[in-house]
């Protein structure tokens, strides 16, 4: 493959990269650059005077609170924490809301090259024909790198600090390596779910090599799982090497029940979409310790079926949320939370109009924010590390501006975040205590270079696949 080194795209020194290259004659801009440099140079960071939604009932929420980060972890959250400017980077953040980073539990990130390419496509036949069975097959390793990189950077920009990346592009070991390297270079926390690539790939055996090459520590941002099919052999392999399974399951519960009868399901397995499952299949997922991932905007737009948020709740599980891909809808967790909120309420309120009794409760903004954070962390098997703002956990958090014309005045913080905000409100993002976005800009990213690289790869993949999409019309 063409080697794409980190240095050419992202400057590991951070703020000095071209993406944040600042005009020399601008005092304000220079001050901002200095501030980012100080932030990156400090292992103690104190974020002061924000509304803090911890999502941890034991810690509680704060109308005005300070969050102290030390060596990548949340050290303390309290109404007032003192520190001297010599020993910590201190930022006053009035009228901001701090939340845990979003966890998107299902992203085919390599498809970052294919954004808006199926403007009105449905899963079958359009997606299967054009993306699964055509364009995906034409990716070279450098195209995988470009697609995953821009998806991961966009996720961070939008407040998503963790993704479950279901690769589906593992045509060769070099393709898998490029996928993982892009996740690593973007600096996102991710579960790499190794998948079957094109016919002739080394699935699943290459997972053994990938594990020792990339995932030999549990103390890192990247962890590994295996994207299985309903073929029991794939589950047997995952069980043999002791990794979690990630499975798309939509239409037919039969094969899932067979896997259950064969004793092949394990706690921590992830089930995606779940739009047509029988009560027996839901009970099986719950009783074996599985978790589910739902992509309401994508499922509604592309014909996957009615999003199964209520089915999940009815069977005693809590759903996580995901985007799937951006060929047709946005990978934006605010929009996904809002769709889940609106859809569940519509369904329940319609039943109420029909005079049905004993209805389930309507979702509240806090519910959908928990789906997008702690339930996502549980689904990704990362809830001991992230998902809530809890002292001791790694500091994956997002700072949101609540003093905009479309959110002011502050009345209810959960509703402000889940019902009023969009990615434009994301001011700062930390992953494991490292600033990835600060004062509205990604840190250390050469934006022009990323855009150029992605466009070049997009052109090449579309040319090889003999595919065009009209810019207009
Ligand atoms: Zn998928």
The tokens describing 66, both together, are 């300070």
Q: Nearest Cα to 347, choosing from 311, 373, 376?
A: 311
Ligand 1 centroid distance, CA of 293 (Å): 10
Distances (CA, A) of 206 to 18, 201, 229: 37, 9, 16
Cα 142 to ligand 1 centre (Å): 22
Phi, psi of 45 (to 5 degrees): -130, 130
Give every CB contact of residue 82 below 8 A, 6+ residues apart in sequence. Answer: none
CA of 416 to the centre of ligand 1 (A): 30
Tell me, what's the pLDDT at 394? 98
Same fold, 7-101+389-442 and 103-379: no
- Give pairs for 77-85: CB < 8 Å, separation 24+: 77/52, 77/389, 77/391, 81/46, 81/48, 83/44, 83/46
Q: What's the confidence (pLDDT) of residue 473?
A: 82
Centroid of ligand 1 to alpha carbon of 170 (angstroms): 15
Topology of the domain covering 7-101+389-442: Urease, subunit C; domain 1 (2.30.40)
CA of 216 from ligand 1 middle (Å) equals: 26
Contact assessment for residue 333 and residue 159, using Cβ atoms and an 8 Å cutoff:
yes
3-state secondary structure of 238: helix
Distance of CA 29 from the midpoint of ligand 1 (Å): 41
Looking at 357-445, list the stretches that DSSP marks H as alpha helix, in order from N- to C-terminal side. Answer: 365-372, 374-379, 413-415
Handedness of CA 430, 421, 67, 388 (dihedral sign): negative
Q: What are the residue boundaries of the structural domains of the chain, listed by start?
A: 7-101+389-442, 103-379
Give, as one character, the DSSP assignment of residue 125.
I
Fold of domain 103-379: TIM Barrel (3.20.20)
Q: How far is the CA of 325 from the centre of ligand 1 (A)?
A: 7
Cα 227 to the chain's mean position, in Å? 16
The DSSP symbol for 410 reads P
What is the whole-number distance in angstroms between the Cα of residue 108 and the centre of ligand 1? 6
Ligand 1 center to 106 CA (angstroms): 6
C-alpha to C-alpha distance for 271 and 294, rounded to whole angstroms: 9
Residue 349, Cβ neighbours under 10 Å: how many?
A: 12
pLDDT in tens, the chain (473 residues): 444 444 445 543 332 333 333 333 333 445 667 899 999 999 999 999 999 999 999 999 999 999 999 999 999 999 999 999 999 999 999 999 999 999 999 999 999 999 999 999 999 999 999 999 999 999 999 999 999 999 999 999 999 999 999 999 999 999 999 999 999 999 999 999 999 999 999 999 999 999 999 999 988 999 999 999 999 999 999 999 999 999 999 989 999 999 999 999 999 999 999 999 999 999 999 999 999 999 999 999 999 999 999 999 999 999 999 999 999 999 999 999 999 999 999 999 999 999 999 999 999 999 999 999 999 999 999 999 999 999 999 999 999 999 999 999 999 999 999 999 999 999 999 999 999 999 999 999 999 999 999 999 999 999 999 999 999 98
Task: Please tell me the distance from the alpha carbon of residue 74 to that of residue 59, in angstroms, as a whole number.
Answer: 12
> Residue 229 Cα, ligand 1 centroid: separation in angstroms?
12
């Amino acid at each position: 493959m063409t080697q794409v080194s980190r240095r050419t795209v992202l400057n590991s020194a951070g703020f000095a990269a071209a993406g944040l290259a600042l005009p020399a004659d601008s005092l304000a801009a220079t001050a901002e650059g200095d501030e980012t440099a100080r932030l990156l140079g400090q292992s103690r960071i104190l974020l002061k005077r924000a509304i803090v939604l911890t999502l941890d009932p034991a810690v509680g929420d704060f109308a005005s609170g300070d969050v102290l980060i030390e060596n990548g972890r949340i050290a303390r959250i309290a109404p007032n924490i003192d520190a001297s400017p010599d020993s910590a980077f201190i930022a006053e953040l009035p009228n901001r809301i701090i939340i845990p980073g979003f966890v998107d539990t299902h992203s085919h990130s390599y498809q970052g090259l294919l954004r808006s390419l199926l403007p009105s496509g449905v899963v079958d036949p359009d997606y299967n024909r054009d993306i699964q069975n055509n364009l995906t097959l034409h990716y070279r390793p450098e195209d995988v790198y470009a697609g995953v990189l821009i998806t991961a950077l966009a996720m961070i920009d939008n407040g998503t600090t963790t993704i479950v990346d279901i690769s589906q592009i593992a045509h060769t070991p070099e393709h898998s390596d490029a996928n993982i390297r892009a996740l690593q270079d973007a600096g996102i926390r991710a579960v790499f779910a190794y998948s079957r690539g094109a016919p002739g790939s080394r699935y699943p055996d290459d997972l053994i090599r990938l594990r020792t090459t990339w995932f030999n520590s549990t103390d890192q941002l990247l962890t590994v799982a295996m994207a299985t099919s309903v073929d029991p052999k794939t589950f047997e392999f995952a069980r043999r090497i002791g990794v979690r399974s990630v499975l798309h399951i939509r239409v037919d519960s039969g094969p899932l029940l067979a896997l259950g009868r064969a004793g092949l399901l394990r706690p921590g397995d992830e089930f995606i979409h779940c739009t047509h499952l029988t009560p027996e299949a839901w009970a099986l997922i719950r009783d074996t310790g599985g978790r589910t991932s739902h992509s309401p905007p994508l499922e509604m737009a592309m014909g996957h079926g009615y999003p199964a948020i209520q089915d999940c709740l009815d069977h005693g599980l809590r759903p996580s949320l995901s985007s799937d891909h951006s060929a047709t809808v946005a990978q934006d967790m605010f929009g996904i939370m809002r769709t889940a909120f609106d859809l569940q309420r519509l369904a329940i309120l319609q039943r109420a109009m029909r005079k049905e009794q004993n209805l389930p409760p309507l979702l509240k903004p806090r519910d959908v924010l928990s789906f997008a954070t702690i339930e996502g962390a549980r689904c990704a098997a990362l809830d001991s590390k992230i998902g809530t703002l809890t002292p001791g956990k790694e500091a994956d958090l997002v700072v949101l501006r609540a003093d905009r014309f479309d959110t002011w005045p502050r009345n209810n913080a959960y509703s402000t975040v889940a019902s009023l905000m969009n990615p434009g409100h994301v001011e700062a993002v930390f992953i494991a205590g490292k600033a990835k976005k600060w004062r509205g800009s990604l840190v250390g990213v050469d934006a022009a270079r990323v855009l150029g690289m992605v466009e070049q790869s997009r052109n090449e993949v579309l040319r090889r696949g003999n595919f065009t999409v009209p810019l207009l019309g």
